[in-house]
Amino acid sequence: MRSMRIPSQNWRWMPAATILVFLWWLLPHAVRGQDLGTWELLMENAGIASMHTALTRFGTLVMLDRTNIGASQINLPDGKCRASNDLVLQSDCSAHSVVFDPATKTVRPLFLMTDPWCSSGQFMPDGTLMQTGGDFDGLRKIRTFVPCEPSGTCDWVESTTQELQSGRWYSTNQLLPDGRQIVIGGRSAFNLEFIPPNANGPLYFPFLNATNDDQNDNLYPYVHLLPNGNLYIFANRDSIEYDYSTDTVVRTFPQIPGEPRNYPSAGSSVILPLLATNNFSVVEVLVCGGAQYGAYLNSISQMPCSSTCGRIVVSDPNPTWVMDNMPFPRCMGDMILLPTRDVLIINGAQQGSQGWTNAVNPTFSPVLYYTYASLGYRMVALAPTTIARMYHSTANLMQDGRIFVAGSNPNQFYVFNVEYPTELKLEAFSPPYLAPSHDLQRPTVTVSPLQITYNTLFTITVAFPVPLTSELEINLVNAPYSTHSYQQGQRLVGLAVSALVQVAQASVYQVTLTAPSTPTVAPPGYYMLFAVNQAIPSKGVWVLLST
């Protein structure tokens, strides 16, 4: 049992001591007492406000912002400058992308030639970050970043031989089982394409036309790869199952109740953990938050954001949306799959919508969503930050289990003397499972293979401060591309534990596991492997999943 509310009647007559014991039993380990998470300021000034953020397999975080914004607060090295046709600066000697090293709390400037404003991205199977589209001179651009050790000099490379088949601004990328990427939608782009490209050019995608409205509430569509190889695609309030290999809509799902959920109304979505224990046969999607229709068109009204989450079992033959209420309204919130198989909802505002100065009343408190708790008992508000993280903010799971939080710029340019300024600070949120009170349950993965192959057995070594007394979970979590309240490609796969053997030391175990069965369950690439004991995770260990 992860979370439960106290019955509303009769308990008030219980003796005080009995009530305390009763409360201790009811509350989940992760939130009892004062374990509501903690915040840490990592850096006062990163030089840029990160609009897009991705975690690399070296533990560093790549951050990007617009180029067409004037000078940032960090210069390019060695006097390098960028000549461009930008509206603000034609010669820009500042950086608009940096790589942050959490170990040293330092940033290194990176060189971007074209504008990645409101672009999209995803890691390739070899760990290369592919970043696509943007605005102005970046509309059709394909950029790659091959990560390196924190001491390295890796940088962005913009292709001079390949470009997108259609201009992409506010689109979504998804890595496919064969290692290609599919890029879907964007402003005035009712189509999709593949990288590497197919021979027929971009494919017209009627679903994007059908979900369009006066606000364009179908931008940054939510795209989730299903274990059967098809795609679940959600835009505005509608969703479909799409077979990209035949360009066919296989199923149409019921419309989610309530408000529009995509940009600019800006809710968020995750595909919930896929588990070997049910042979990856139960597939659920969660969509939380959004804004009332008209909040973007009539931004001066500052309408309340949505307070609902919808959850649907897309693997059911007759699925329906099951609705739940968040502790407070939220739009522009990021949803992060945690190593414990739960979900963290973080960042955002309680009124308005995405867009410059379109929102007020920041949502300072994250919410912990317990995936396997009963309806009505799934959400707990956690410790608040003091920094507003609204339009153009990001959140990413780190290897040590913390959540990296960056960005927020509700202004067209870098502005600091307003109520909601351009935010250059970097923070980390430690969820309740990182509280020192849980250290005796915390596992450590001491030996792990660097590479695993599909549907094969492999063995890891896990150590504990005390002997293991409960079931052990092993989860693979990938590194998505975080932008505009959506983690593109985010995925968690729970592995099957085939054997658990205690070795010579009393608290050290060899764990034999079965790798994911197929690339449709987990596309090839780098994943963090977490051991989880009593909802307390280890640090993640990077492994490469390949054929």
* The last residue of a domain, from among 434, 450, 473: 434
Residue 132 near residue 121 (C-beta atoms within 8 A): yes
Residue 122 near residue 99 (C-beta atoms within 8 A): no
* The last residue of a domain, from among 384, 404, 434: 434
Count of helix runs (H) and strand runs (E) in the chain: 2, 45
**CATH code of the domain containing 358:** 2.130.10.80
Q: Are residues 210 and 260 in the same domain?
A: yes
Q: Are residues 209 and 323 in the same domain?
A: yes
Q: Are residues 317 and 389 in the same domain?
A: yes
As beta bridge partners, residue 271 has 285
Q: How far apart are alpha carbons 188 and 298 in whole angstroms?
A: 21
Q: Are residues 358 and 482 in the same domain?
A: no
Q: Are residues 480 and 394 in the same domain?
A: no
As beta bridge partners, residue 78 has none
Residue 108 near residue 128 (C-beta atoms within 8 A): no
Residue 306 near residue 293 (C-beta atoms within 8 A): no
Q: Are residues 442 and 405 in the same domain?
A: no
As beta bridge partners, residue 251 has 241
SS3 labels along 253-273: CCCCCCCCCCECCCCEEEECC
Q: How far apart are alpha carbons 129 and 143 in whole angstroms?
A: 8
The residues near 278 (Cβ < 8 Å, ≥ 6 apart) are: none
Q: Are residues 423 and 444 in the same domain?
A: no
User: How many domains, the chain?
Assistant: 3
Count Cα atoms within 13 angstroms, Cβ side, for 440: 5
Q: Are residues 140 and 207 in the same domain?
A: yes
What single DSSP character describes residue 56?
A: -
Q: Are residues 449 and 417 in the same domain?
A: no
Residue 382 near residue 24 (C-beta atoms within 8 A): no
Looking up tokens 């940009």, which residue turns up? 263
* The last residue of a domain, from among 371, 404, 434: 434
Q: Are residues 419 and 284 in the same domain?
A: yes
Phi, psi of 19 (to 5 degrees): -60, -45
Query: Which structural domain range is residue 376 located in?
Result: 38-434
Q: How far apart are alpha carbons 492 and 480 in whole angstroms?
A: 11
Q: Are residues 258 and 328 in the same domain?
A: yes
Rg from Cα positions in the chain? 23
With b for 16 or more beta-carbon neighbours within 10 A and e for fewer, the 504-531 pattern comes to eeeebbebebbbbbebbbbbbbbbbbbb
Q: Are residues 270 and 350 in the same domain?
A: yes
Query: Residue 161, exposed/middle/buried by CB under 10 A (0-12, 13-18, 19+)?
Result: exposed
What single DSSP character describes residue 9?
A: S
User: What would the two tokens of residue 481 be?
Assistant: 């591309």
Per-residue pLDDT of the chain in tens (547 residues, 90 and over written 9):
333 322 333 333 333 333 333 333 344 434 444 599 999 999 999 999 999 999 999 999 999 999 999 999 999 999 999 988 787 888 999 999 999 999 999 999 999 999 999 999 999 999 999 999 999 999 999 999 999 999 999 999 999 999 999 999 999 999 999 999 999 999 999 999 999 998 888 999 999 999 999 999 999 999 999 999 999 999 999 999 999 999 999 999 999 999 999 999 989 999 999 999 999 999 999 999 999 999 999 999 999 999 999 999 999 999 999 999 999 999 999 999 999 999 999 999 999 999 999 999 999 999 999 999 999 999 999 999 999 999 999 999 999 999 999 999 999 999 999 999 999 999 999 999 999 999 999 999 999 999 999 999 999 999 999 888 889 999 999 999 999 999 999 999 999 999 999 987 779 999 999 999 999 999 999 999 999 999 999 999 999 999 9
Stretch (H or E) spanning 108: strand 106-110
**CATH code of the domain containing 528:** 2.60.40.10
